[in-house]
Structure formats: C-alpha cells, structure tokens
C-alpha cells in the first residue's frame, strides 16, 4: 500500500514538473517560431513593395493583382532620365531687353529592364504571391485603388495575411493573445499588413526589428 502511494506521488511530481516545464517553454517556442515566420513573410512583403513602387513609377497606379505585377517585372522597361537646369536669353517685348529664362531640360539616357534593375538573377518574385512558409498553400491578399485626399487622386495599395494563417499550427491560446497585440515592439492586430487603402503609405505594420538583418 505504502509503495503504491509513493509511486502515485512520484507520478504526480513528474506530471506537475512537466506542466511547469511546458508552461515555461511553450511561450518561448511559440515566439521563436513566430519571429522566424514573421521574418520570412515580411521579407516577401518587402519584395512586393519594391515591385509595387516600380509599377507605380511606370504606370501611375499600383497593381491590384499579382499576375500583372509579375508580368510587369518580366516585361517592364525603365526609362533612364537625366534632369538638368539650363537657361537662355529671350527678348522681352514689354521691357524691350533680353531677359534670362530658366528651364529644366530632361534628357533620355537609355532604357533598362525592370527585372534586371530590381531582381537581376533572383527569380523569387515569380512566387511573391505565396506565403513563404512550409505547410501553407495560401497567397497574400492584395488590393489597390484610388482615394481622394484634399481633392487629389492618390493611388494606394494594401497586401496582407492573417496571423492565423502564418501561425496555423501553433497553440490556440498563445495565438489568440498574439492577435490582440498592441505594442511598439510587436506586429499589431490580427494581420501582417503592407501599405494601406485609407492613406498613402508603403510602410508595414511591423516594428523596426524586422527591418534589421536577421541574426
């Protein structure tokens, strides 16, 4: 009887020791997975931002789908321009004298492909729509539109993915807390977002730590 009680107590000790260990390590493991995956997702979003800015420079608006964005990278051309100040004398009929006129001269220097300029031999842009995480067969949500700001038509875009997708296989309680994050050191809200459909922005909702080189 005594031996049975001792064995039971040992089992209880082992069980509670495991629970304590698990309660300490589960958040640590969650954060490690979270940061690694966030880095991968944000790196991909930065590629999309580079492509979107180039697309707008050439077309005047942002792309609202990945097919047109990839096609632009494959086939788009940048025109290389040089702006320089110049001046010349022009006879003024009012004052009856030659007056100096200042102008800006724009010279076309040549052309370069968007692909060579932005990505060179890197072909990862062809899959920029995909969430770069093993086990996930999902693409980013993308949208673009024109909004009015003080009577000015401003192109905007937004690309996003839910944290529930990025952390699909993680602890539900920890994921719920992560979705409620409000912190200058965290990715706020339930999504990782690049750009905005409500204001002119090409920034993401992630902190500066994700803009630093990964260790």
In angstroms, rounded to a whole number, what is the distance separating the alpha carbons of residues 46 and 212?
Answer: 12
Q: Contact 141/4 with Cβ under 8 angstroms? A: no
Phi, psi of 67 (to 5 degrees): -60, -45
| 70 plus 176 within the same structural domain | yes
Q: Which tokens go with 112? A: 């370069």
| 107 plus 159 within the same structural domain | no
Domain that holds residue 145: 35-76+119-211
CA dihedral 193, 58, 146, 68 (to 10 degrees): -60
| 107 plus 124 within the same structural domain | no
Residue 47 has pLDDT above 90, yes or no: yes
In angstroms, rounded to a whole number, what is the distance separating the alpha carbons of residues 138 and 167?
Answer: 13
- Tally of structural domains, the chain: 2
| 106 plus 131 within the same structural domain | no
| 147 plus 195 within the same structural domain | yes
| 143 plus 193 within the same structural domain | yes
Q: Which tokens go with 21? A: 């260990």
Q: Which tokens go with 124? A: 């990862």
Q: Model confidence over 168-187: pLDDT tens digits?
A: 999 999 999 999 988 888 99
Closest CA to 131 of 35, 30, 42: 42
In angstroms, rounded to a whole number, what is the distance separating the alpha carbons of residues 179 and 24?
Answer: 20
- Does residue 21 lie within any of the structural domains? no
Mean pLDDT of the chain: 84
| 157 plus 55 within the same structural domain | yes
- Does residue 145 lie within any of the structural domains? yes
- Considering only residues 100 and 7, tell me which one the structure prediction assigns the higher pLDDT: 100
Q: Model confidence over 139-162: pLDDT tens digits?
A: 999 999 999 998 999 999 999 999
- Rg over alpha carbons for the chain, rounded to the nearest Å, is 28
Residue 24 has pLDDT above 90, yes or no: no
């Amino acid at each position: 009887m005594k031996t049975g009680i001792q064995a039971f107590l040992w089992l209880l000790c082992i069980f509670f020791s495991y629970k304590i260990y698990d309660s300490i390590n589960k958040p640590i493991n969650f954060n490690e997975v979270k940061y690694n995956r966030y880095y991968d997702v944000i790196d991909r979003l930065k590629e999309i931002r580079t492509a979107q800015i180039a697309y707008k420079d050439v077309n005047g608006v942002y792309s609202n789908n990945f097919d047109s964005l990839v096609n632009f990278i494959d086939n788009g051309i940048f025109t290389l321009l040089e702006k320089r100040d110049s001046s010349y004398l022009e006879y003024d009929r009012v004052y009856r004298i030659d007056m100096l006129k200042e102008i800006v001269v724009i010279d076309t220097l040549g052309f370069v492909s968007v692909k060579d300029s932005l990505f060179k031999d890197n072909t990862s842009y062809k899959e920029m729509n995909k969430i770069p995480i093993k086990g996930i067969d999902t693409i980013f949500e993308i949208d673009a539109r024109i909004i009015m700001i003080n009577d000015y038509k401003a192109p905007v875009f937004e690309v996003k993915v839910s944290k529930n997708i990025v952390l699909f296989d993680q602890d539900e309680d920890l994921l719920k807390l992560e979705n409620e994050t409000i912190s200058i050191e965290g990715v706020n809200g339930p999504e990782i977002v690049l750009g905005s459909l409500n204001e002119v922005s090409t920034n993401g909702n992630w902190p500066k730590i994700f803009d630093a080189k990964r260790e």
